[in-house]
A and B are shown apart, each in its own frame.
Chain A
Amino acid sequence: MSTDPDAQTTRKIVIEAHDVVKRFGGAVAVDQVSIAVGAGEIHAVVGENGAGKSTLMRILAGILTPDSGGVSVNGKLLEPGAKASLEAGIALVHQELSLIPEMTVAENILLGVTPTKFGVIDSARQRKIAGDALDQIGVSVDLNERVSRLSMALRQFVEIARAVARNPRVLILDEPTATLTPAETDYLLSMLQRLAARGLAIIYISHRIPEVFRICERATILRDGQIVEVMTIAETTPNAVIDKMVGRELKLDLQTRRVADPGAVVLSARGIRAARVNGIDLDVRAGEIVGIGGLVGAGRSELVRAIIGVDPRTAGTATITVDGETKNINGYGNAVRSGIAFIPEERRTEGLALDMTVAENITLPNRAALSTGGFLQRGKIAEFATRLANTVGLRPPEVDRAAGEYSGGNQQKVVIAKWLGREPKLIVLDEPTRGVDVGAKSEIHRLLRELADQGTAVLVVSSDLPELLELSDVIHVVRDGRIMGTLSPDEANERSVMALAAGERVASSS
């Protein structure tokens, strides 16, 4: 496909991808994408969750081999494989951290390129190079510390130092700021500009459009694995970029959002403390959607998991009230029995048994209803599963197919479907649409609204700000395991949430 209308660069092209295609099963993650980045350019790649950004980057870094198309550096086509790409000077900072927990900072920074004398690690040089890399990005950390003992932010910087240490021609960063505070982010961005000034080609992925506009020269916009357009930042506006990303006029029209009439309190948590949760009080009412905002690492997942007993609490109590009867939530099993449903953050590892069928996955939480005298009712199961699959709009609705065969969005629908069977009183979702494509995403949103309208209490953790703003009747913003502020729909906007999440109002105490 041609990208004719797209903005070209006058710079000397360093890295180039030619019509790369990558499929995962049926789903096409990257479709006929071509991209060229010049020396000294910071090039943004933006798109919604699941647009194919990370996949494209993994292809550029030689970690994934494209089904067709290729990657070339300085006009030379690369062999497939990570090694060739590394040698060609491509360094990737992964979205999900890829450090070795039990190795030291120095070892991690030079992983794969450890300097040696006759096979013996040259620790002096190792420490020197690692130290220099950290200096270049201006971060100070004990080189002998085991990475497993570092904070998320610090791990992120170690990852970046690791990329820099290979003094690459091309530096790729996949959502590096997701785990950072504004101060840290600010620092990172200026750092990238310094690196670019030295002639590095930088590819920068972020969901935070302002960052893109601050440092990037051009932006490649992906949607559903395809290039929508390549824009020159100087000649466009954030709204234009967002619209292209989403493929429709995205207006958060607060007037037309559903009017919630919250009923009685269903979930009530008081003084919740746990690992990385430092004393939280929180209520969720029937028919109300409560949103939890904050940065990755703020402890939101830990918060909700502690409330409903997935992870142990160190202090605090949580109660659930169903038709006037109030029960303590001690332990997760008890929570589920009293009408709580939980859609976890990690779909593939916590949400589904991927190699079991959709029907079996749906049966799991409903096993009691679907069995008599300890025996499963097969006929009943098929009928039951199909009904729920249709309710959530699973496509295709073949419940005898293994869950792992479905796309991310459909997998998430299955996770939700299996809980709907229990008609939960409270449904807790952690990152409900992470990696879910646009269509599925809006369907899931519709589903959640309907549930709320039917009087279900909903508690949503999301890093996806538009989603949070769109769904929530009230938003609690979490930082360092504390609620920094609570925003009503009319107070809530990207700015106000971010401000709280970054702790700007309470800068002194952070």
Chain B
Amino acid sequence: SASNGSDAGGDAGTDGGYNVYALLPQGNDQPYGTNYLKAMNAAAADMGVNLTITNAEYDSAKQANECSVAIASKPDGIILWPAAVDTIRPCLEAAKAAGIPVNASNSDVLPEDKSLVGTYTGPSNDGVGRAAAKLIGDVLGDGGGNIIIVQGLSGNSTAIDREAGFRDELAASYPNVTVIGQQPGDWAKDVALTVTSEMLTSLGEENIDAIYAVDDTMAAGAIEAMENRGIDPTTIPVVGTGNTELGQPNVLSGKQYATLFQSPVWDGENAVTYIVDAIDGKTLEPNYFMPIPEITKDNAAEYPAEW
């Protein structure tokens, strides 16, 4: 069934190996993507899968074309990490028509498109948001309080999903917690630093009881913003996501109240594992969610940072 000549990672051990396209919106241009790719390539090498990887740079039109390129080269399976989940229905239908199994990775497809994918592997971004909301809601206690959100790059679907989950969970379980400010930190520490500081200025340090930074890099920025103003970070709990090399030290030192361990390694590996299962026609659960352990000062040591 091998239709393209590329023998990247091709391992003589398995019969020619499966040809799989991985349609990703990021790669070596992002920290997460870099480690995701490492794990993915390693897994592929083990299982004798020939991977062809694309990076659409979150341009959904580009990804759509790469999808049709993939389908045209008739691979055995496709791993799709949507650039924007709303835009992938055509890709999924085309793949289905061509009889190519597709698994979603890292960002789940919309419920109405669920029937078009074999399974989803990765974090529940919505779930990540909810977990963050729990952490913050619980630490604030029944009294609740005012919080601010440091968002990711505007329009980015992961960021959007996490925020949605976060706000839903607050509304559902923590009515006393109110979001009084939100600004994009563009996934970047320096931007997060500035906007957090500015929100502290405009809303008043005393009025802010907690900060949700959509990832650890930006959490680090938020923390530095507080330190720069002589605020003790432990007094305003910050919750991030990732347990990154940048975030973990802050958690260990208690500057960052908590984070959620999202493992690019798990993500990359399982994307490959389950596409192989899908190709082999195994019956699959609708979702294989990445375990998202809550990391705090106490257990951080047990979870070495991966990115």
Answer yes or no: A and B touching, Cβ < 8 Å.
Answer: no
What is B's interface to A at a CB cutoff of 8 Å?
A: none
